[in-house]
Chains A and B, each alone.
Chain A
């Protein structure tokens, strides 16, 4: 890959060619190499080549076609687990998976011609894996702070609120700002009726917070409130 190609990459960050060693990778990406006990170069083979805790074990994904939006993936050893169902249009398309690990390491896997031949390498999450990763919270962890995780997950699953909450994040951020903390918490009233509240921890003043909530209501929530069926509400908390 030439230098211009790197910077015109579809991925979110410019990615260097596959390095030969950790030191070489570090030199290319401006990162510090990490010493590994008893090993010399970093390799791409299972178990001993990977030091996942050294970097943030999470992935960002970009696509060049076939997907409507980026798909969050988990990469476990040599296998790719796709958390969200892919459409049949994906076949024959290219999927770029970029690992965003902050400053320690970046690597990329490119699967070209994602077809029946390649598909066996892409495995769906098993029910056991889904439970382990709190599937009811899939996609929410990245944008909401979650109080009492298991209870909130069960409530979201029971009331099918996942899509609504994911969709709400963008207008919520537009109204309150992207840096605010949005917390999901269950509140039970005197009559025993439980509601999932999304509380925006707002660092500004009361008037400013009210204006932001009004903006959110008018721009999005009023049109979607029926989807929550009275089980979810949005409010702010001054910090």
Chain B
């Protein structure tokens, strides 16, 4: 068991992206009906009409987006963006205690895109980036076991910090030194999921990934 280190996630950003098999140009519902349906589903989480941005100025159809932003409260920001070919959901500083509400609201909005927009998912990707501040131990000491003596030979001298990048098919784990918080780690978890995977499955996988990273590094703190 590694030595434990008190830690705090000072900032995190979650991004979910799903791509459609075909662009939803021929949506069964009108654009107005589609927007209304999505907003209805997002409303329980504080999304309102004043947070909807409609951008027709994009030079490429692929970049066209209707962005729904949570307004109550506006911070930390949550957003749901719909394009012709994809949906993108973002949330800053999302806490696991909010997971259930976050999932149910955004799943319902995505379902509306499927039903009213005729979208068929081709792929799903979930990325999380976290700045984790270590409270009582130097970050260099926490991550030094990740570097082998062989790897240490790459630098002509002792490294101030050693991180790691691990890939496994369509999975990427990054542990880096945070450039934003003192004695912090920047951890990124990126996974591509099957198109039929549920949000609950995505969340469970992510929770397990986060927990494993905390366990391996000996970090104590609230996920």
Contacts and interface: CB of A to CB of B under 8 A. Distances in A.
Interface of A: 34-39, 43, 45-49, 51-58, 60, 100-103, 128-129, 131-132, 141-147, 149, 179-183, 201, 203, 239
B157 to A, nearest CB: 13
Contact of A58 (B55, B137, B179): B179
B179 A100 contact: yes
Interface string B145-184: 0000000000000001000000000101000111111110
B63 A49 contact: yes
Contacts of A46: 55, 65, 67
A53 B86 contact: no
B138 A43 contact: no
A132 B75 contact: yes
B65 A56 contact: no
B209 to A, nearest CB: 13
A12 B160 CA distance: 19
Q: Which DSSP category, helix, strand, loop or mixed, fits chain B's interface?
A: strand
Nearest to A178: B160
Q: Which DSSP category, helix, strand, loop or mixed, fits chain A's interface?
A: loop
Interface residues of B, number: 57
A37 B192 contact: yes
Interface in B65-116: 65, 67, 74-76, 79, 81, 83, 85-86, 88, 90
Contacts of A54: 15, 127, 129, 188, 190
A54 B172 CA distance: 10
Contacts of B20: 38
B125 interface: yes
Contacts of A45: 58, 60, 63
Contact of B129 (A52, A149, A203): A52
B170 to A, nearest CB: 8
Given A45-B58, A102-B179, A38 B138 contact: no
Closest 7 CB pairs of A and B: A38-B19, A53-B129, A132-B75, A58-B180, A37-B125, A53-B13, A45-B63
B65 A201 contact: no
A95 to B, nearest CB: 20
Given A53-B13, A181-B138, A39 B180 contact: no
A128 B125 CA distance: 31
Contacts of B76: 132
Contact of A56 (B14, B124, B180): B180
Nearest to A180: B138
Interface in B172-220: 172, 176-183, 186, 188, 190, 192
A103 B174 CA distance: 11
B186 A38 contact: no
Contact of A181 (B18, B172, B178, B182): B182
Interface centre among A49, A55, A149, A181 (most CB of B within 10 A): A181
Contacts of B134: 145, 181
B10 interface: yes
Contacts of B178: 56
Nearest to A40: B62
Given A48-B86, A132-B75, A149-B10, 20 more contacts: A36-B17, A38-B20, A39-B86, A45-B58, A47-B65, A47-B79, A51-B17, A53-B15, A54-B15, A54-B188, A54-B190, A56-B179, A58-B179, A58-B180, A132-B76, A141-B182, A142-B180, A144-B182, A146-B133, A201-B137
A201 B139 CA distance: 12
Nearest to B167: A32
Contact of B182 (A34, A35, A103, A143): A143
